[in-house]
A = this chain, B = another copy of it.
Amino acid sequence: MDHLNLMKKLHIQNNSKVLLLVMDGLGGLPLAPEGKTALEQAHTPNLDALAARGICAMSTPVGPGITPGSGPAHLGLFGYDPLEYEIGRGVLEALGIGFDLQPNDIAARGNFCSLDENGLITDRRAGRIPTEIGTCLVKKLRAIELPGVETFVEPVKEYRFVLVLRGEGLADGLTETDPQMTGKPPLPVKALRPEAEPTAALVNEWMAEARKILANEHPANGCNLRGLAKDPDLPKMGDIYGWKAGAIATYPMYRGVARLVGMDVLPTGDTIESEVETLGQYWDAYGFFFFHVKKTDSHGEDGNFDGRIDVIEHVDHVLPDILALKPDVILVTGDHSTPAKLKSHSWHELPVLFWADTIRQDGVTSFGERACMQGGLGHIRHVDLLPLAMAYAGRLTKYGA
């Protein structure tokens, strides 16, 4: 039986509170071979004490060696196999700017590019034009009208933008325009299934109009559309786990992914303190909370090792306020690794810490990568985390007699 169907069949209701505390990009590497990771070097007395009372593990987001984007990594954390459930790139891009995507919208990630006199691509990123210029071009593209559908064009950053089509009868199953190399023209969008033919025609019409509008721009005299997709209509957390789930996150993309799996996105401010305040405010109303801390990842991407330490220590500092709410199960981990040494997401396993009254303690006494390699749960996968949390919370009934 499929993993999520099993949860759907076995879940039971109780009043327990389960908290998933995610420090984005938590897993790291030492800057030098003999050194410590940011998590190991950070002064984290509260996390260490919790590890000593809890049980630890190392967790793989998608599969061995696979570096996940934020979408798949979070789907894994939420129990959805990221190789089975996918969120289209266009949808993630729209969620990332906080666009209020509707279930039948088609979203695409747009890239401005440079074309030569023959319409062949010379630079797929149009020289990475600054955001102000990209925003200016986006405003011009808003002039394009398509029959029977509403269009939204929104700037993202530099050469990136989002296109959304809204209307009756739009279908996904569309190829991309980006040939993924220079020296070729943008490709026409093709329908991968008959129902998507009209949508493909609309997108090609939009592309033709965009080409006219951008013709005299420089260097961004063309554009490409990638990852044309709809809300993937994922199974919802309430149905799978039988709990009311609330998401607390400061960045739009994480709120968006949480919404796609059926969580309520709770209003919160920009700081970790405001997130903790939100948690307290909504404590009675939900059985499950997803609490997301962004900047461990941002600093990792920037190669800022010390910045990562600061954020981790900040989380450690507020941990007692979180524990004071008396969660029945607390699960501390990250979505993926973002070692400052690599300045990017990576495939490395993540340290995981579970505490509940029903855990079996191991001998781990600090929360860090090397300590968790000796954790009592061994090496697990992200999709195993919520089933374990459900069990620790007494929310799963027996399988079979």
Q: Could you say which residues of chain B place their CB within 8 Å of the CB of A379?
A: 377-380
Determine the distance from Cα of A390 to Cα of B65 in the docked complex, in whole angstroms: 7
Question: Could you say which residues of chain B place their CB within 8 Å of the CB of A388?
Answer: 64-65, 347
A71 contacts B342, C-beta separation under 8 Å: no
Cross-interface CB contact of A398 among B69, B378, B401, cutoff 8 Å: B69
Indicate if the CB atoms of B380 and A373 lie closer than 8 Å.
Answer: no
Q: A6-B63, A399-B72 are in contact. Are A370 and B362 (CB under 8 A)?
A: yes
B401/A1 in contact, CB under 8 A:
no
Count this chain's copies in the assembly: 2
A121 CB within 8 Å of chain B: no
Contact (Cβ within 8 A) A71 B401: yes
Majority SS at the chain A contact face: loop
Interface stretch, picked from A80-88, A215-223, A314-322, is A80-88
Complex CA–CA separation, A89 to B399 (angstroms): 11
Q: Does A146 contact B (CB under 8 A)?
A: no
A194 contacts partner chain B, Cβ-Cβ < 8 Å: no
A176 → chain B closest CB, angstroms:
13
Query: How extensive is the interface on chain A, given as a class?
Result: 35 or more
Chain B residue numbers with a CB within 8 Å of A361 are 30, 33-34, 370
Q: Are A400 and B72 in contact (CB under 8 A)?
A: yes
Residues on B with C-beta less than 8 A from A399 are: 62, 66-69, 72, 82
Residue positions of A touching B, CB distance < 8 A: 1, 3, 6, 10, 29-30, 33-34, 37, 53, 58, 62-72, 82-83, 86-87, 89, 92-93, 227, 342, 345-349, 358, 360-363, 369-370, 373-374, 376-380, 384, 387-392, 396-401
Interchain Cβ contacts under 8 Å between A and B, 29 examples: A6-B66, A33-B53, A33-B361, A37-B360, A63-B384, A63-B387, A64-B380, A65-B387, A66-B387, A67-B391, A67-B397, A67-B398, A67-B399, A68-B398, A69-B398, A69-B399, A70-B401, A71-B400, A71-B401, A82-B399, A82-B400, A86-B400, A89-B400, A346-B358, A360-B370, A362-B370, A363-B370, A373-B376, A378-B379
